Homo-oligomer: A and B are copies of this chain.
């Protein structure tokens, strides 16, 4: 940076005391709260042998760990490598993409273990955790990673941590309303993760609107190798999405079915994305932005219904539609949102998560509404929708109505929460960069001097010797 600009930046973006303070205070708070509240669940506790006897389990393989740990690891990869590398497409923001995603997710999972724990795993004053809690914490943080996509390159790490704190909290409340109060099914999180996360992020970026962002327009694009790094993220998200949608489904057929439906939906989505990517451009060439993102819409769009009897052909239909909607979104909606609604959506999460999330919620509501005992079997029907206890008398069509209500609640929470959090993030104390320094790692990172010419000379000294 030339000196004057650097000094200008320094005023705003100097992180030396603010960032460490936030991180350390936060970690101390986590330690205290974990100390007070968090303990091992029965299947991770050393009393497991006794537990096994009580539950009449004959083998250690019945431990939930063996049902869910492989899926957990896939989800874990999606959150850290998937989302992290997906966002490295920017030519000069790779450190921020993968590094800040790392920071906010590591920060968020701790808070999510607590928040979700209080709502769902609280017993005798303690939060009892097991592998399912780890998956849910990753899921919760996934919604923050989505929102991060909208504001990528325009916010300071402190803003991201503040957003994470609030978003995880709101996510947990919204999730509680949907799953516990409305008794809604949403194992892959079309509503709780994608719809909520995306509209939350879009609202935040609307509030943080930067009128002069074209000053850093030159850095908003990709270079050849940054597009390849991003494809690492894309492919891991795409490949492991069947694990994502099935990770917390019921043991047995539900996990199995979720994986198959998601696999089918994603395969179809790739074809319609490629078709529309080529069709919507004069030159008919494929656009990496679409391939990197819209191919994933099929996973989002079956998030709610994958564990239901959506059927493989139903999955193909949903996947096909979501690929089209998402690609069309990148070509037409994103520019419209920016120019007319002042929503600057760096990664196009509106196309990858918001619209497909809505589709997912709607498809879930319909699939639930048309469910019959004939299709599911008597036992399967009750098990699939948990029509037990107070929900014994719920009919599929009523369930469909509640599912639809879940979409509305998620949207309201996202807009209201996003507006409030956006307002907080607008305060001039968080150290975000000036418009001309957006999308530039040098603001918050020590960036190596790319003395490329020197490298080449080292390598080709004959050339270097030439005048």
Contacts and interface: CB of A to CB of B under 8 A. Distances in A.
Given A20-B275, A99-B291, A253-B46, A109 B461 contact: no
Interface in A423-467: 440, 442, 444-452, 454-456, 458-462, 465
Contacts of A23: 271-272, 274-275
B61 A17 contact: no
A37 to B, nearest CB: 9
A379 to B, nearest CB: 4
A382 B341 CA distance: 65
Contact of A80 (B17, B239, B381): B239
Given A256-B65, A379-B50, A450-B223, A102 B456 contact: no
A405 interface: no
A235 B98 contact: yes
Contact of A106 (B113, B129, B260, B266): B266
A259 interface: yes
Nearest to A309: B46
Interface in A35-79: 35, 38-40, 43-50, 52, 58-67, 69-71, 73-74, 76-77
Contacts of A35: 313
Nearest to A255: B65
A214 interface: no
A276 to B, nearest CB: 7
A260 B316 contact: no
Contacts of A279: 16-17, 20
Interface in A222-267: 222-225, 227-229, 231-232, 235-236, 238-240, 242-243, 251-257, 259-260, 263-264, 266-267
A33 to B, nearest CB: 8
A80 to B, nearest CB: 5
Interface size class of A (residues with CB under 8 A): 35 or more
A386 to B, nearest CB: 13
Contacts of A243: 73
Given A73-B239, A376-B46, A224 B94 contact: yes
A11 interface: no
Interface centre among A34, A84, A254 (most CB of B within 10 A): A34
A1 B458 CA distance: 8
A273 to B, nearest CB: 9
B43 A253 contact: yes
A383 B49 contact: yes
Contact of A66 (B26, B66, B99): B66
A14 interface: yes
A2 interface: yes
By Cβ-Cβ distance, the 3 closest A-B pairs, closest first, are A16-B284, A46-B380, A48-B253
Given A2-B462, A23-B275, A26-B271, 18 more contacts: A2-B461, A27-B275, A27-B316, A31-B268, A31-B320, A38-B311, A40-B309, A47-B253, A61-B67, A76-B239, A98-B231, A99-B288, A110-B264, A131-B256, A131-B259, A223-B452, A223-B455, A224-B447
